[in-house]
Amino acid sequence: MATKHRKLISFDWAIKKILRSKANFCVLEGFLSELLFDDITIKEVLESESNKNSREDKFNRLDIKVKNSKDEIIIIEIQYGRELDYMQRMLYGSAKTITEYIKESDSYSEIVKVISINILYFDLGEGDDYIYKGTTSFIGLHNHSRLKLDGYQAKLYKTDKIEAIYPEYYLIKVNNFNDIAKDSLDQWIYFLKNEDVKDNFKAKGLVEAKAVLDYLKCSDEEKREYEYYKESLHYQASMYESTYVVGKMEGKQEGKIEGKAEALILVLESRFGQLTTEQIQKVKSLCDEKLNRVLQKLWTAQSFHELF
């Protein structure tokens, strides 16, 4: 008889609620070590505006300072989401991280390496792989040679590779994974997609994750918060899908906004019951930016009025 696995908390919820604790750093250290093919040790969770868990927090993002096997200090930001403009969000996130963690008196050479890890639960771009890595390089327009650092710069930056200075981006397209774990990194991707750790998985941090993220160990209040969070993701997914389909059919911005408003009305009625004519008109009058703001607040709001 097959073993029935116990339900585990999703990784995105764990980042917001559980994995910020020093006692649970081993889980994140395992994930980062497998992804970056290095031995990663977390030094601290960085407390910045982006890490505050406010009701209107625009980003699901965690910034951490880590040390690798070469004793180099790196800032890693982990974020996840379901947004069509996610490419710009990645750029904004890494730029914000750089500016937040350099003092005005520091020289530019003091800028710390940033690695942006993005866990995507929606389809971003076209491509059939499930992990993509992006770096910055400079290629000659005429002879196609790759620009390198000279000896002085290599000594200053402690690297001979230009791409080592600039942010790195990892895109994990969870839905592209075929559920066949061929190596230890795949075991982590399997967990990210299925919220399950198989008995034969040996990847760094997964054994600890299986214990730390056990749903049955949560308090009743934590369970209620988690179930509400998961329910809200279904609303957001429905809205995302409806908005994308309508926008694609219309082929113009007005159609996209109208479709997003109609989708939001359906979501709100599923959440709070039938809306009044006045409430429906209020939603339809919102511009695209305000519609997005309402969506960001959706999972924390207890009533229609809290959204506006």
pTM: 0.73
Q: Which amino acid is at 125?
A: G
Domain coordinates of the chain in residue numbers?
A: 11-217, 220-307
Strand partners, 169: 116, 134
Can you say whether the dihedral through the CA atoms of 184, 186, 189, 193 is positive or negative?
negative
* Cβ count near 153 (within 10 Å): 14
What does the pLDDT read at residue 50? 45
Helix (H) or strand (E) holding 79: strand 73-81
Where on the phi/psi map is residue 205: left (φ > 0), alpha (ψ -120 to 50), or beta? left
Q: What DSSP character marks residue 9?
A: -
Backbone angles phi, psi at 76, to 5 degrees: -115, 130
Q: Give the number of other CB atoms < 10 A from CB of residue 255.
A: 14
- In order along its 308 residues, the chain shows pLDDT tens digits of 444 556 788 888 888 778 888 999 999 999 999 999 999 999 999 865 445 544 334 446 788 999 999 898 899 988 876 555 678 778 888 888 888 888 888 888 888 899 999 998 877 778 889 999 999 999 999 999 999 999 999 888 888 889 999 999 999 999 899 999 999 999 999 999 999 999 999 999 999 999 989 887 888 888 887 877 776 666 555 555 555 544 444 444 454 566 677 777 877 776 677 888 888 888 888 887 787 778 767 666 778 888 88
- At 184 the pLDDT is 97
- Residue 20, pLDDT score: 87
**Backbone phi, psi, residue 75, to 5°:** -100, 125
pLDDT at 56: 38
pLDDT digits (tens, 9 = 90+) for 31-47: 999 999 999 999 999 86
> What is the total residue count of the chain?
308
Query: Which stretches within the chain are classed as H helix?
Result: 11-17, 25-36, 86-100, 151-157, 184-194, 206-212, 220-250, 253-272, 277-284, 288-297
**85-131, pLDDT tens digit by residue?**
678 778 888 888 888 888 888 888 888 899 999 998 877 778 889 99
Burial annotation 80-112 (CB, 10 A radius, 16+ → b, else e): bbbbeebeebbeebbebbbeebeeeeeeeeebe
Distances from the Cα of 219 to the Cαs of 128, 222, 235, 270, in angstroms? 40, 5, 25, 27
In sequence order, which residues have a C-beta less than 8 Å from that of residue 273 and are 6 or more positions away? Answer: none
